[in-house]
Structure 1
Amino acid sequence: METEKQRIRELCSAFYLTGISAGMEKYITTAEQQGMGFIEFTSGLLEMETVYRRERDLSKRLKTAWLPQMSHLEHYQPNAETGLPAARLNQLRELNWLDQVFNIVLMGPSGTGKTFLAAGLCRDAVKAGYNAYFRKMDDLVNMLKTKEYVKTQQTEYKRLLKANLIVIDDIMLFPLEKNMAVAFFNFINQIYESTSIVITTNKKPTDWSKQLDDEVIATALLDRLLYHCEVINFTGESHRLKNRKTIFGEAN
């Protein structure tokens, strides 16, 4: 019996059936106890491999998405006062806007939940099977700067060009040099018709020309981002400031 099991493991390795190999021992014991027929046994083996590959693929895509730690919308607390009531959150999580290649702009003060929501929608999209990625604005700028001579950045560039969804966090937080403003515009111009874009920003669109130091580029960029777009304005006090912690205990 052990010789036959070893032979099965070798065959699994030859055909890259890692899921079957990993769960074989337990599954054979269960099959013997339940008296499974050949068809049920074979179907269960293939299902085990399918589940393993699905989970491995999801894990890989979540890793590639670069999601921040806080990105589970089950922990998100929608609040109409801050700009997003529960009904709208549920509608966003259905991802119909993604199928329609709609963009979403999350605008408002720092600490009001924009990044949390954007990352959570990205996680939902990855789990639903979309090619979705979360990137800080700095990540994108660095990629555009170095993609011509850094292989990993060239790979990143090609990956993003094929995305269904790209989240750009903290867009226009810092000014861009003219050459990078042009490069960023060209990137958006390449993807806006086939990729949904979610952006978070604490800058009003009217301030973008100052950050880019070019009103023409700012206008052209906004024209593409705001075409087929939902703008959600966040208000209120920073969650981090309201819940800031101290190294000291209660005063006596």
Structure 2
Amino acid sequence: MSEQIRETDKKLKEMAERLRLVMLRDNMAELMNLATEERLSPRELLLFLFRKEIEQREANRIKLSTMGAHFPRACTLEGFDLAAQPALEPGLFRELGKLEWLETAENVVLIGPPGVGKTHLAIGFGKKAIELGHGVRFFSAVNLLATLRKAQQDGTLVAKINQLQKFKLLIIDELGYLPFSAEDAALIFQLVSKRYESRSIIITSNRPPSEWGLVFGDPTAATAILDRLLHHCTAVVIQGDSYRLRDNLRGLGKTEM
């Protein structure tokens, strides 16, 4: 490589750094060599470089947004075993997977016994929302309440609810596994009221909404919460065998053989 080419590459890297073209800066030599091998025209070269930079930025955005969502594990809609849950209608699954309901601030409630894939679906919808460019935050119901209680104690509840309002999709997992106090119900009501008709919520629960009065410990608050959640909502009931139980039984079968 001639001294002139080295000097030119150095200047290109400096310019890429100044323009924050990180992918181009870090892969300058490889990209130039590939462009030479493919005999790209000037326009084709620019198109190639811009596309690569955009692809890298998009990958970085998805990675950071996924980390910020605090999903408990990695799940995708493509990885959901729809055949194992015949109660879940395939057409509804595909329709929800388009995430058009996010644009109209509608909610989704996933109801069913433990292990049928409710959390998997919720995470899958959240991951898809991130890929489409939306902000997502995942909480277990217990952790969400702990967050809201602390904010209330610190005098920052309004600020915390406003912060959560920035996320296009809020996922509340495992609602109903533990009972809430009337004070807890009031906190959830404030959050749901703030998001009503402006931001979407996904809730997973082992109890149907008709039993949420028992969950919240305050029938009046439960009615108010349900009124806002279910006004623009798709409720999905999933009945079937537990994935975890089925996997464990398969493991036992293999052990006995």
In 1, Cα distance between equivalents of 2:50 and 2:116: 46
CA separation of 1:81 and 1:16: change in aligned 2, threshold 3 A: closer
The residue aligned with 1:23 is 27
For structure 1, list consecutive stretches of 5 or more residues without a partner in the other structure.
Answer: none
CA drift of 1:200 comes to 0.6
1:100-139 superposed matches below 5 A? 100-139=104-143
CA drift of 1:174 comes to 1.1
CA displacement 1:124-176 (0-9 Å, x = unmatched): 111122222222112211221223677xx998644420222212111122122
Which segment drifts farther, 115-124 or 157-166?
157-166
Equivalent pairs counted in the alignment come to 251
CA drift of 1:79 comes to 4.3
Matching of residue 250 in structure 1 with residue 255 in structure 2: yes
The residue aligned with 1:173 is 177
CA displacement 1:1-44 (0-9 Å, x = unmatched): 22221222222222221011122111111222333333332333
In 2, Cα distance between equivalents of 1:249 and 1:80: 20
CA separation of 1:178 and 1:46: change in aligned 2, threshold 3 A: same
Matching of residue 85 in structure 1 with residue 94 in structure 2: no
Q: Is the 8 A contact 1:83 1:232 kept in 2?
A: no
Which segment drifts farther, 33-42 or 99-108?
33-42
In 2, Cα distance between equivalents of 1:68 and 1:133: 11
The residue aligned with 2:230 is 226
Secondary structure (helix, strand or coil) at the match of 1:4 reads: helix
Matching of residue 10 in structure 1 with residue 14 in structure 2: yes
Secondary structure (helix, strand or coil) at the match of 2:176 reads: coil
CA displacement 1:181-211 (0-9 Å, x = unmatched): 2111101100121111111101222322222
Q: What stretches of structure 1 move > 6 A for 4+ residues in a row?
A: 153-156
Which segment drifts farther, 32-41 or 206-215?
32-41
The residue aligned with 2:78 is 74
| Length-normalised TM-score, structure 1 | 0.88
Secondary structure (helix, strand or coil) at the match of 2:78 reads: helix
Q: Is the 8 A contact 1:101 1:194 kept in 2?
A: yes
Q: Is the 8 A contact 1:176 1:211 kept in 2?
A: yes
In 2, Cα distance between equivalents of 1:248 and 1:38: 63
For structure 2, list consecutive stretches of 5 or more residues without a partner in the other structure.
Answer: none
The residue aligned with 2:67 is 63
1:114 counterpart letter in structure 2: K
Which segment drifts farther, 103-112 or 141-150?
141-150
CA drift of 1:107 comes to 0.9
The residue aligned with 1:191 is 195
In 1, Cα distance between equivalents of 2:220 and 2:173: 23
| Length-normalised TM-score, structure 2 | 0.86
Find the partner of 1:207 among 206, 211, 220: 211
Q: Is the 8 A contact 2:148 2:160 kept in 1?
A: no
Q: Is the 8 A contact 1:147 1:157 kept in 2?
A: no
1:137-176 superposed matches below 5 A? 137-147=141-151, 157-176=161-180
Secondary structure (helix, strand or coil) at the match of 1:199 reads: strand
